[in-house]
Structures are given as structure tokens and as C-alpha cells.
Structure 1
Amino acid sequence: MAKIALGTRREATQPDCIQALVVEFITTFLFVFAGVASAMTADKLAGGSLVGLFAVAIAHALVVAVMISAGHISGGHLNPAVTLGLLAGGHITVFRSILYWIDQLLASAAACFLLQYLTGGLSTPVHTLASGVGYLQGVIWEVVLTFSLLFTVYATIVEPKKGANGLGPILTGFVVGANILAGGAFSGASMNPARSFGPALVSWDWTDHWVYWVGPLIGGGLAGFIYENFFIIRSHVPIPTEEEGY
């Protein structure tokens, strides 16, 4: 079973941690900026139609793929649910996870405030449940969609030997786009508390907002725990000796 490492406050002063936080901020900022901008454009030009949803899905798929690749120094999480999923699998410490979460939320807020300024105060779409979709349904939607996202991250990026080498970011972008097409009309298909936080803060509209924390964090944490403990085999490899010619 994977062990969760707590970490220490000293991590915050280590060069690799500082560098990772800077990269995580930049990539999360650019992801939210492109994602929210696409939603604003879709509302403005397509009135929230299927064409608009498709445009939002494509924009998210593309920017996720690129930002994960660009953010390789930090791991390109872009998402508190991804960070939690990797924490559950023992790939990041608790302390660094908290720093990442703060970083991601600040980046999301900064991107949305900048968009509000650049668009002349254009309304920033927030994630809310569609008419007829209850809280439990919304949470389950987000759990399932985020689970599929983290399962893909583990299969194609965390354990590349079991996935498609080098294609992890692209495939992760594909699943984000597919999930938006599948669940966007019902729960909004956030899969990402940071992605929901920025627009809610700027618009000061917290309707259903808790759903976009509970669902993604459960889905992400569950996927990380299950994949790490049921699909990744950690075998002991003896240290080579001089007698073996090493």
C-alpha cells in the first residue's frame, strides 16, 4: 500500500520546490485563462448551444495537453484534485500538496480577474448544476468524471510503461474534452476545484460551488488510491554487487 509522506516546512525554501510552484502557477494560470475565456466566448457567440459546448471542450483539451507538457517541472497538475490523487498514491508530500493547492487557487483567481479586465467586464461563467440536476447527482457526475481523469493521468503519465509513452499529456487532454462533452450539460464537468474557484470568486456567485470541491476531490483521491494500490506493482530489486560485475 502506498505511504503518504507528510513532508516538512523546509520544503518551501528548497529551490526545486520554489521552481515547481512558479511553474505550477504559470501553467494553472494559462489553463484557467484559456478555459474560462473559451466559456466566455461560447456564451457570447453561441449562446450556450451545443456548438459552444464543443468549442469549450476543444479549448480545454488543447490547453490541458499543452500545459501538462509545459509544466513538467512541477508535474503540471493544474488541479487540486490531481494533486490529491497523486498525494493518495504517495507521489507528493502533504506539505507540498498544500502549497500546490494555494498556488493553483491564486493562479485561477488571477486569470479570471485579468479576463474580467480584458473583456471590459464581460460576465464570467461559473460552474453550476443544470436545471433538474440535484446535488447528489452533481457530486456523482464530478466524482465519475474526475476519477476518469486521474485514472488516465496514472495510466499514461505516472506509469508510462503501462500507457502510451510520450502521449500522456495529449491523452489526458482528450479525456478532459470528452468529459466536458459528456457532462458539461449536466454538472458543468469541472473536474477541477481551481477551475471553478476563479470564476466564482470574480463573479461572487457561489451557487452549488461546494459540489465542485467535494466531487472532484473524492474522484481524484479515489482514483489515485485505487490505481496505486491495485494496478502498480512495486517489486523489490536487489542492489547489484561487485561480484555481479557492477
Structure 2
Amino acid sequence: MANESMAKELGSRRFWQAVLAELVGMFFFIFIGISSTTAWAPPIIPSQVQIALAFGLSLATFVHATAHISGGHLNPAVSVAFLLLHRITPLRCLAYSIAQCLGALGAAGMVYAITPTAVSNNVGPTTPGAGVEDWQAFLMEVCLTFQLVLVIFSTVDGKRASPGGSGPLAIGIAVLVAHLGAIQYSGASMNPARSLGSAVVGGVWNAHWVYWAGPLLGGLLGAVTYDYVLDPNVSMGRLRRCPTCEYGDEDDYTTSDEMNLNAIPTESK
């Protein structure tokens, strides 16, 4: 049964459209974001506000552009959180994560290629700030990704009364405020693929483990906190089960197909 389901997914045109959407959306999100970090000759030196706006607004833009195709994850930490809470299949999580990493690598490479050699450009690596220990940067990444994924799961909750406004914009603002508050601590990555692209192209690998372990743990904690603690529609059936167990018929649970951001496109739609 599992093999048949995987084969059906691999043979689906919409599956590959979703994977491509993750690659393209990630490319432009990271391309715009790390372009803002380039330090040109004075007085054109990027400020924390400029970088925060570039990352936050570009994420909002491309989540909006890809949400109806792939769910607009644009982050392996988000995809893994959706996988562990049974919102997407393992195959989709793997394909999304690879596409996201390739998109980030392509974006970092493009910024490097088109930036004049006279300009100091290390394609925006995420490293602990001056005097910040690796463990401190790790905890910051956990907290920042926790709040981002908490916002995402709250936003895509299909059973919540519509608060008005824009879900993608709320997600983008979560990234924007994280940069404003914490870029000096850890670079405010919240995204393993974003850090990977800059590390590969720029050759800066300082404390790189922080930018995988921190976002993955923070994303899982944020997802579990919303689904099992804060969700007003949580049922006793769901609470009795572990976060990674299969859901039973007794669970009052909104599947991804019903979510506002359309997290799992299906052939039946």
C-alpha cells in the first residue's frame, strides 16, 4: 500500500509542480534576502532594518505565490514539522527539502556571480554574533523558529474564524521581527537551506550545525505547541496520542487538505 501511494505521488503532475514551486519560491526568497546583505562601498552599507524588510517581505511575497501550489513551506524546518505531525508524506517532505536546498544554493550562487568583484560579498552567511557562544546562537535559533512555525500552524488552521488580513504577510512579519530582534545574535536564519546556500557558496561554515539543529528543533516545538496546547479545537483523542502517532477517527483534527494555505495539494482537488 505504501509503495502504491508513493508511486501514485511520484506519477502526479501536481506533485512535481509543488516541488518546482518550492524550488522557484525559495530561489527568489533567498536571492532577494541575501542580496540585501551585500556590503557595498560606504555609504551603501546594509542596515539591520533593510535586511529584515528584505527577508520578511520577500518571504511573505513568495509564500503567497506558492501557497496554493505547494503550501508555501520554503523552509526544511517547516516541511519537517509538517511531516512529523502527519500533514505531508515523507516523500513530499524529502522532495521539498531537496528543492529548497537547491533553490537556496542557486540563489546564493546567482548573487555571488552578479555581484562586482570589487564589492565585499560573502553572500550573507549566518554565524554567531561577536561574543555569542555556539550554544547561545543555537537557543536563539530554537526560539526564533519556534515563533515562526507557531505563526504558520496558527495561520493554516482551517477551523479558526478568519481574523482578516493576510496569512502570508503574518508569516513574513514573523521573519521580519525575528531579524529586527535577533540578527546580531545568530543571523536570524530559522531556515537550514538559507544557511546552507550561503555556507556552500561563501565558504563560511562557522557553527553550521546551529542552523540545522536549532531550526529543526524549534520548528517541531512550535508545531506541537500549537497543535497540542494552543489549538482551541484540540480534542481529547488527539491529546491522548503522541505527536508523531497516526491520528484515529476520534480525533477532531483538520487535515492539510483543509488548511487555508493548502499545505497538501491532491489530485482530487
Q: TM-score range by the shorter chain?
A: 0.7 to 0.9
Looking at structure 2, the residues matched to 192 and 133 of structure 1 have their Cα atoms a distance apart, in angstroms, of: 19
The residue aligned with 1:58 is 53
Give the partner amino acid of 1:136: W
Match of 2:99 among 94, 99, 103: 103
The residue aligned with 1:32 is 30
Shift of 1:166: 5.2
Tell me if the contact between 2:52 and 2:179 (Cα under 8 Å) persists in the aligned partners: yes
SS at match of 1:125: coil
Unaligned runs of 5+ in 2: 235-250, 254-269
Match of 2:252 among 224, 235, 242: 235
CA 1:38–1:124: 2 relative to 1, 3 Å: same
Looking at structure 2, the residues matched to 76 and 43 of structure 1 have their Cα atoms a distance apart, in angstroms, of: 35
Looking at structure 1, the residues matched to 43 and 23 of structure 2 have their Cα atoms a distance apart, in angstroms, of: 30
CA 1:128–1:28: 2 relative to 1, 3 Å: same
Segments ≥4 residues shifted beyond 3 Å: 41-48
Q: How many residues align?
A: 228
> Percent same amino acid at aligned positions?
34
Unaligned runs of 5+ in 1: 1-6, 237-246
SS at match of 2:38: helix
CA 1:229–1:41: 2 relative to 1, 3 Å: same
Give the partner amino acid of 1:201: V
Match of 1:75 among 67, 71, 76: 71
Shift of 1:126: 0.5
TM-score (norm 1): 0.86
The residue aligned with 1:240 is none
Shift of 1:96: 0.9
Tell me if the contact between 1:105 and 1:197 (Cα under 8 Å) persists in the aligned partners: yes
CA RMSD of aligned residues (A): 2.1
Higher helix share: 1
TM-score (norm 2): 0.79
Match of 1:23 among 21, 24, 39: 21
Tell me if the contact between 1:39 and 1:125 (Cα under 8 Å) persists in the aligned partners: yes
Shift of 1:132: 1.5
